[in-house]
Structure 1
Amino acid sequence: MYSFPTVKIILFYVIFYICLAGIFVGTIQALLLTLSNYKPTYQDRVAPPDSPRPYTDRGPLEADTTQKKVCRFHRSLLGSCSGVEDRNFGFNEGKPCIIVKLNRIVFFRPKAPSTNESLPEPLQAKAQPNLIPIYCKNKRDEDEGKIGEIKYFGMGDGFPLQYYPYYGKLLQPQYLQPLVAIQFTNLTLDQELRVECKAFGDNIGYSEKDRYQGRFDIKFTIKS
Structure 2
Amino acid sequence: MPAQSKDDGGWKKFMWNSETREVLGRTGGSWAKILLFYVIFYGFLAGIFIGTIQALLLTLSNYKPTWQDRIAPPGLTHTPRSDKSELSFSVNDVETYLKYTKSMREFLEAYNEETQRDQMKFEDCGDQPQEYKHRGDLESDIGARKACRFQRTFLGPCSGIEDKEFGFSEGKPCLIVKLNRIVNFKPKPPLTNESIPEEAQHKIQRNVIPIYCHNKREEDEGKLGEVKYYGIGGGFPLQYYPYYGKLLHPQYLQPLVAVQFVNLTMNYELRIECKVFGENIHYSDKDRYQGRFDIKMTINNY
Give the TM-score of the pair, scaled to structure 2. 0.61
1:86 match? 163
Q: What is the percentage of aligned positions where both structures have the same residue?
A: 63
- Does 1:38 find its partner at 2:63? yes
1:49 match? 77
Matched residue count: 207
Aligned-partner Cα distance in 1 for 2:50–2:78: 38
- Does 1:142 find its partner at 2:219? yes
1:14 match? none
Judge conservation of contact 2:189–2:208 (CA < 8 Å) in 1. yes
- Does 1:164 find its partner at 2:241? yes
SS in 1 for 2:148: coil
RMSD: 2.9
- 1:17-39 CA-partner distances (Å, limit 9, x unpaired): xx9xx9xx969x66766643211
- Decide whether aligned partners of structure 1 residues 217 and 162 sit closer, same or farther in structure 2, where only a CA change above 3 A counts: same
AA in 2 matched with 1:97: C
Aligned-partner Cα distance in 1 for 2:193–2:74: 25
Aligned-partner Cα distance in 2 for 1:143–1:181: 22
SS in 2 for 1:117: coil
SS in 1 for 2:213: strand
SS in 2 for 1:106: coil
Judge conservation of contact 1:61–1:70 (CA < 8 Å) in 2. no
2:37 match? none
Q: 1:107 aligns with which of 172, 177, 184?
A: 184
1:61 CA drift (Å): 3.6
Aligned-partner Cα distance in 1 for 2:78–2:261: 19
Aligned-partner Cα distance in 2 for 1:48–1:109: 15
Structure 1 stretch displaced more, 31-40 or 101-110: 31-40
Give the TM-score of the pair, scaled to structure 1. 0.81
SS in 2 for 1:80: helix
* Larger Rg belongs to: 2
- For structure 2, which runs of at least 5 residues remain unmatched after alignment? 1-14, 16-41, 80-103, 122-140
SS in 2 for 1:197: strand
AA in 1 matched with 2:234: D
Q: 1:58 aligns with which of 104, 111, 116?
A: 116
Aligned-partner Cα distance in 2 for 1:50–1:102: 9
